[in-house]
Amino acid sequence: MSQMRLNPLNGRWVTIVAERAERPSDFASRADIVDPESGRTCPFCPGNEEETPPALETIEADGSWSMRVIPNKYPAFNGVEGFAVHNLGPVHVQAEASGIHEVFVYTPDHESGLHQLDDEHAAEMMFTLRRRFSEHAALDQVRYTQAIVNHGREAGASIAHPHGQILGLPFVPGEVIDEERAFARFAGGCLLCTTVEAEIAADERVVIATDDVAVITPFWSGVPYEMLIIPRHHEAHLQDANDESLRAVGIALRDALGQLTAVHGDVAFNLGFHTAPHEHAGGYHWHAHVWPNLVTQAGFERGTGVQINVLPPEQACETLKSITVNA
């Protein structure tokens, strides 16, 4: 029988319908090609640095770069203006999309991926995000910073070379506001600290658990193999996390994606880091979400906001835990 489960972070229901996963069309392989123009020079590969704006950061390793942070050539958010709302009549409202839009190329290897980084490289990626978040927090026009990785065309990637984006926004997104409210109304301490304790005790949805980080397939997973990465050192802001915590998160993220890749091949996915708004002073616990793109969102999901998940997270966890990576 189907189940409805409540996502406590955003207050929305998801529906677990395990029987639908038996359909042969479920979990279709993704398209191999991301770049529509075969033979086009990759702007993120070593030797093509002149095709991008000058780097904001360059991390060196063994005489060459291992990671670069560059301004997005086509920014969605740009400018130093404050967030000013303009009413254009009785209905329409407009504001300038000021802020920052950066790209972080986390590996020089065009054919690599997050799941193939070594320990030091995975840690350095997280340290780089901390530096960028700290810089954004010091800017008046940035109220919130969002780091994302879109892997695969189905996940929104337009360039095949592994990379992510860092966006400094002049407003706090609604999804994060929902999470702020969830932490504020939770009466049992920290919502995510309590979640980790409960999941480890239940031992049904814990993919990875160390003293520093937990990776779970959440009870309320909205898509198959959805994962939540929770640092066990409580901090509201990613930029306040210590080296030990960030290293653990980077390595656990690498390993969890390695397990997912071992099960389903080169899966398209979205990765998003959620941190408290820069001027937030209440309860919050930074974390990361992985949303694999194994199924297509249809009219019901778009029309109601209720996700239908055809794979129980307990089953997803069991499958992922059966895979050993980076042993």
Question: The tokens of 101 are what?
Answer: 């839009």
What is the SS3 string spanning 127-192?
Answer: HHHHHHHHHHHCCCCCCEEEEEEEECHHHCCCCCCCCEEEEEECCCCHHHHHHHHHHHHCCCCCHH
Number of structural domains (the chain) is: 1
pLDDT band for position 24 (cuts 50, 70, 90): very low
Region 89-98: mean pLDDT is 92
CB 82 within 8 A of CB 98: yes
User: Is 84 within the bounds of a domain?
Assistant: no
pLDDT range class, residue 26, cuts 50, 70, 90? low
Determine what percent of the chain is predicted with pLDDT higher than 90: 80
For 7, phi then psi, to 5°, come to: -85, 110
Q: What is the pTM of this model?
A: 0.93
Confidence at residue 23, expressed as pLDDT on a 0 to 100 scale: 47
Residue 91: Cβ within 10 Å count: 6
Residue 267 lies in a domain: yes
Distance between CA atoms of residues 210 and 201, nearest Å: 14
Question: Does 117 score more than 90 pLDDT?
Answer: yes
Structure tokens at 196: 């980790």
The CATH number assigned to the domain holding 142 equals: 3.30.428.10
- Closest listed residue to residue 300, CA positions, set 9, 66, 6, 17: 17
**Mean pLDDT for all residues in the chain:** 92
Q: In the predicted model, is pLDDT for residue 70 greater than 50?
A: yes
> Which residue(s) pair with 102 in the sheet?
71, 166
CA separation for the pair 1, 165 (Å, rounded): 40
pLDDT digits (tens, 9 = 90+) for 266-302: 999 999 999 999 999 889 999 999 999 998 888 988 8
Q: Is the pLDDT of residue 29 over 60?
A: no
Q: Is residue 26 part of a domain?
A: yes
At 19, the pLDDT band (50, 70, 90 cuts) reads confident
Is 271 within a domain? yes
Residue 62 has pLDDT above 90, yes or no: no
CA distance 92 to 89: 6
| Secondary structure of residue 16 in the 3-state scheme | strand
Determine the Cα angle at 11 with ends 28 and 251, to 5°.
55
Predicted confidence at residue 158, as pLDDT, reads 87
Q: 60 lies in a domain?
A: no
Q: Is residue 240 part of a domain?
A: yes
Q: If pLDDT is split at 50, 70 and 90, which confidence band does 165 have?
A: very high
pLDDT tens digits along 176-213: 999 999 999 998 899 999 999 999 999 999 999 999 99
14 in a domain, yes or no?
A: yes
The predicted structure's pLDDT at residue 262: 94
Give me the domain span that covers residue 271.
3-32+115-321
Instruction: Tell whether 187 is covered by a domain.
Output: yes
pLDDT in tens, 213-254: 999 999 999 999 999 999 999 999 999 999 999 999 999 999
Q: Maximum CA pair distance of the chain?
A: 62
